[in-house]
Amino acid sequence: MTLRPICHKDAPDLYALLTHPEVVRYNDYAMPSKQQVRDIIQGDIELFLTGEGVRMAIMHQGQLIGSCGIYDAHTQVAKLGYELHPLFWGKGLMYHALSLLLSHGEQYMGGRVTAVEAQVHRDNLRSIRLLQRLGFSFVTESRYQLIWHGAELRTTKG
């Protein structure tokens, strides 16, 4: 499994991922059209170029199987977002991807960031456990937060 910045050639695979019924079930936005996915990718590229965040393609055996990103990285509370194709759920790949992303987070976040926040569907127990393993704490019913100390990511094994 590797991470690389998302690019326009990923549009078909990202569209397939973001419109998968199980991914849509837990996502915090409506099912996108193909044009909206192209626009999302363009926005992600611009975020990266302006230093306001990054979306990484999660690659496995040459195939995009998910994405993860840091957004609002120019504010005090950056946002973490992620999705993974259901065929790869429960295999530890997202834990590995997010650990890698956060351990290199200083490359994508400005000096103002004091916390990273993730919004998660309350029924998405796997995602909640994942965030807890990564050191995120419960804030409200759908939000979890990690106090940001730079690349000093503390995770628990499990």
pLDDT tens per residue across span 85-121? 999 999 999 999 999 999 988 888 877 899 999 999 9
Token pair, residue 30, equals: 């409506």
The model carries a pTM of 0.90
Ranges assigned E (strand) in 46-125: 54-60, 63-71, 77-84, 115-119
Helix axes 125-133, 93-103, angle to 10 degrees: 40
Q: Are the CB atoms for 79 and 118 separated by under 8 Å? A: yes
Q: What is the spatial distance between Cα 57 and Cα 16, in angstroms, rounded to a whole number?
A: 13
Pairing between strand 143-147 and 54-60?
unpaired
